[in-house]
């Protein structure tokens, strides 16, 4: 099964092409079932690989490559590298994509461009899966860009509307700004090491071939790229507007594909950050500030999808924070559990929007009476993301908070306060949507439960949101397969041994041994750095802020009387206005855009009125004047002199022509006359 892992990204790519080029458009198109069938097979294969990894049925990481192309002395390979994070992401991406495609059968029913929608979904999934399994950073970057293209197509799927059209361009341009950092980082890394292969890069980093300066620069540049894709400060501005796309697309983007690509990049290149403390610290602080600021922005949002978007940004910040404080396992654990309950939250929101035809929570309320299945499943996801003990989010978030406390207690205080904010704004969304007083009775009267194609994915994700965290935590299998010591080790499978041994022998004579020592040192350093607070302190603090957040939201929104909430909004209007304006980040970037427009206009004026008018056009005028003068001198003097000599010569020749008529007696007379004149001249001297 593991030998054919390359089929997992290839099959969705082929299905995307088949659906796009051979399928018929229209609401009755059968092409969605092709995409669903292919994704079902990929889910089955990925599930088997993930289960085998958890059970230890194959040695990780699995590494296999084939020659790709060669330039000069450099050879590029095409291959797969399956370690714990890759196996986990394969399962998560295929599961969420399969459920999203199943859910879309009901949600997108009747859309005239259904074929195109499923083609784009398959392309999006294929690009993310290719990014996950790639064994070298060049192919990863190609898939990274393909993910951005597919997100542009899906966010702007309803491009005839101004909102999606604007949001898709904003997402594309913003993420491309971050991609510039990743691109420069890749060039710098290749210039320093001569390879993009992840196995060889790890070996050379362990052998000391990657200097501290290069590792720091590459780490910071990669972080900038990750900030674009994973919506970290300051490049998060595209994600709230990306909600203009279809809700199932939002679930796919937020739970399993685009936004986790940046987290996965940092995790995949963790050996670089392990060698660059400054870059590692930057990851931690970017993640912490992103988590906090995004959580505060969610407090005042009324669009149900935008609340979830800010929630995603905040949770991604937690993951980035976990990586930055060497909580590698906790970050990837939270990435996994978050995929389940965030997909559930978005699909649940889509079920609500499908029922009331509005995104505004002020139009909702009392939907628990109309939509019991949606209410129950969204309740599980809300409690999970809030960090209620026993549910999936509790285990993963607690692991991150423990790592943060061991790294910096001050950062832990901010992180745990942010956890309380998460519990508050998610409970606010839940109470206002399902239990608060109905805002629009006409929409409430027409609300109904969604069809089984939409509720079945909700039920599956609800079960995973409830029990997956406990299963992965208590069995210890997940922590084993994503152990940083294993991530920093060389591949050891029989299939990979030839390639890996050769790569390591070229990169460092004792690469495998060096990697083992580096991994052990990193593992021991992490344990030495960890503080040991009282056992009850950390979970107790987390439970307290979670309970406070939920109770506070119930007090303000649970009973349908929003008078207290309105008075708080009016009393702190300046803060609410700032939060609703997203701390004016959008205004700042628009200011930069306006400034660049004004600079461009100024440069255009300088170019047109100084460079072109003075230097280019002025020099042309001078050249034209010199050309006229040259023409005048040439015509009047040079050509006149030449023509004058020619006229004199011609006239002289014409005169002589009259004297020479071929008469012998005339020639004799001219000779005698010449002799006579010469004789007179001689005698008179």
pLDDT digits (tens, 9 = 90+) for 185-231: 999 999 999 899 999 998 888 888 889 999 999 999 999 999 999 99
pLDDT confidence bin for 459, thresholds 50/70/90: very high
The whole-number pLDDT of residue 435 equals 85
The whole-number pLDDT of residue 522 equals 41
- Check pLDDT > 50 for residue 503: no
Higher pLDDT, 572 or 14: 14
- Check pLDDT > 60 for residue 510: no
Higher pLDDT, 649 or 73: 649
User: What percent of the chain stands above pLDDT 70?
Assistant: 91
Q: What is the pTM of this model?
A: 0.83
What is the average pLDDT across 523-547?
68
What is the average pLDDT across 433-451?
79
Higher pLDDT, 273 or 654: 273
pLDDT confidence bin for 75, thresholds 50/70/90: confident
pLDDT digits (tens, 9 = 90+) for 76-86: 888 999 998 99
DSSP for 32-72?
Answer: HHHHHHHHHHHHHHHHHHHHHHHHT-S-SSEEEEEEEEEET
The whole-number pLDDT of residue 530 equals 45
Domain ranges within the chain, ordered by starting residue = 173-584, 586-680
DSSP for 165-210?
Answer: HHHHHHHHHHHHHHHHHHHHHHHHHHHHHS--BHHHHHHHHHTT-S
- Rounded Cα–Cα distance for residues 670 and 653 (Å): 18
pLDDT digits (tens, 9 = 90+) for 141-153: 999 999 999 999 9
pLDDT confidence bin for 27, thresholds 50/70/90: low
Element (H, E) at 418: helix 409-434
The whole-number pLDDT of residue 534 equals 65
- Check pLDDT > 60 for residue 514: no
Higher pLDDT, 361 or 524: 361
Q: Do residues 561 and 439 make contact, with C-beta atoms less than 8 angstroms apart?
A: no
Nearest to 437 by CA among 558, 585, 587: 558
Higher pLDDT, 438 or 249: 249
Average pLDDT, the chain: 86
User: What percent of the chain stands above pLDDT 90?
Assistant: 51
- Check pLDDT > 70 for residue 538: yes
CA distance readout (Å), 523 to 95, 194, 283, 492: 32, 28, 19, 20
Q: Do residues 204 and 196 make contact, with C-beta atoms less than 8 angstroms apart?
A: no
The whole-number pLDDT of residue 504 equals 38
What is the average pLDDT across 590-613?
90
| Cis check: omega of the bond before 234, within 30 degrees of 0 | yes
pLDDT confidence bin for 486, thresholds 50/70/90: low
Contacts 24+ apart (CB under 8 A), 389-394: 389/539, 389/543, 390/470, 391/465, 391/466, 391/469, 392/337, 392/340, 392/341, 392/464, 392/465, 392/466, 392/467, 392/468, 392/469, 392/470, 393/334, 393/337, 393/338, 393/341, 393/465, 393/469, 394/469, 394/542
């Amino acid at each position: 099964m593991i030998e054919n892992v390359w089929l997992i990204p290839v099959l969705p790519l082929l299905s995307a092409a088949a659906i796009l080029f051979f399928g018929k458009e229209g609401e009755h198109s059968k092409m969605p079932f092709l995409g669903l069938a292919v994704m079902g097979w990929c889910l089955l294969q990925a599930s088997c690989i993930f289960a085998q990894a958890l059970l230890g049925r194959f040695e990780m990481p699995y590494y296999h490559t084939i020659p790709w192309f060669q330039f000069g002395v450099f050879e590029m390979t095409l291959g797969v590298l399956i370690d714990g994070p890759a196996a986990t992401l394969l399962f998560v991406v295929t599961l969420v994509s399969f459920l999203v495609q199943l859910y879309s059968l009901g949600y997108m029913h009747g859309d005239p461009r259904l074929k195109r929608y499923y083609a784009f979904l398959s392309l999006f999934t294929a690009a993310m899966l290719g990014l996950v399994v790639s064994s070298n950073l060049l192919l990863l970057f190609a898939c990274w860009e393909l993910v951005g293209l597919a997100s542009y197509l899906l966010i702007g799927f309803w491009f005839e509307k101004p909102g999606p059209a604007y949001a898709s361009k904003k997402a594309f341009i913003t993420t491309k700004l971050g991609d510039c950092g990743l691109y420069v980082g890749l060039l710098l890394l290749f210039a320093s090491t001569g390879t993009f292969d992840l196995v060889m890069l790890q070996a050379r980093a362990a052998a000391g071939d990657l200097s501290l300066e290069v590792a720091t620069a590459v780490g910071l540049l990669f972080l900038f790229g990750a900030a674009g894709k994973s919506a970290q400060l300051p490049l998060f501005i595209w994600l709230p507007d990306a909600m203009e796309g279809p809700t199932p697309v939002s679930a796919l983007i937020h739970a399993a594909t685009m936004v986790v690509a940046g987290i996965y990049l940092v995790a995949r290149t963790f050996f670089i950050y392990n060698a660059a403390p400054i870059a590692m610290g930057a990851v931690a602080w970017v993640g912490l500030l992103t988590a906090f600021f995004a959580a505060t922005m969610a407090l005042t949002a009324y669009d149900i999808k935008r609340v979830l978007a800010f929630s995603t940004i905040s949770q991604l910040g937690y993951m980035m924070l976990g990586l930055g404080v060497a909580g590698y396992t906790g970050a990837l654990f939270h990435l996994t559990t978050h995929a389940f309950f965030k997909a559930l939250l978005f699909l649940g929101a889509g079920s609500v929007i499908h029922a009331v035809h509005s995104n505004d929570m002020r139009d909702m309320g009392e939907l628990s009476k109309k939509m019991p299945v949606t209410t129950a499943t969204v309740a599980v996801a809300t409690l999970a993301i809030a960090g209620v003990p026993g549910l999936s989010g509790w285990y993963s978030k607690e692991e991150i908070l423990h790592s943060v406390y061991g790294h910096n207690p001050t950062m832990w205080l901010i992180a745990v306060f942010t956890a309380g904010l998460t519990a508050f704004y998610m409970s606010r969304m839940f109470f206002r949507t399902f239990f608060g007083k109905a805002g629009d009775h006409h929409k409430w009267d027409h609300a109904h439960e969604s069809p089984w194609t939409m509720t079945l994915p909700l039920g599956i994700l609800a079960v995973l949101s409830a029990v997956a965290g406990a299963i992965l935590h208590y069995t210890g299998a997940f922590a084993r397969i994503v152990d940083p010591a294993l991530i920093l080790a060389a591949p050891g499978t029989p299939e990979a041994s030839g390639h890996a041994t050769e790569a390591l022998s070229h990169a460092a004579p004792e690469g495998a041994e060096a990697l083992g020592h580096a991994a052990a040192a990193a593992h021991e350093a992490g344990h030495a750095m960890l503080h040991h607070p009282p056992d009850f302190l950390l979970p107790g603090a987390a439970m307290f802020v979670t309970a406070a957040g939920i109770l506070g939201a119930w007090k303000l929104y649970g009973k349908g009387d929003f008078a207290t909430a309105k008075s708080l909004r009016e009393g702190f209007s300046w803060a609410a206005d700032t939060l609703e304006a997203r701390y004016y980040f959008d205004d700042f970037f628009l200011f930069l855009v306006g400034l660049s427009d004004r600079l461009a206009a100024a440069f255009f004026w300088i170019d047109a009125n100084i460079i072109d008018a003075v230097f280019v056009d002025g020099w042309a005028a001078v050249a034209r004047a010199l050309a006229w003068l040259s023409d005048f001198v040439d015509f009047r003097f040079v050509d006149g002199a030449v023509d004058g000599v020619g006229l004199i010569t011609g006239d002289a020749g014409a005169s002589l022509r009259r004297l020479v008529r071929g008469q012998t007696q005339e020639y004799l007379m001219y000779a005698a006359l010449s002799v006579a004149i010469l004789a007179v001249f001689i005698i008179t001297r």
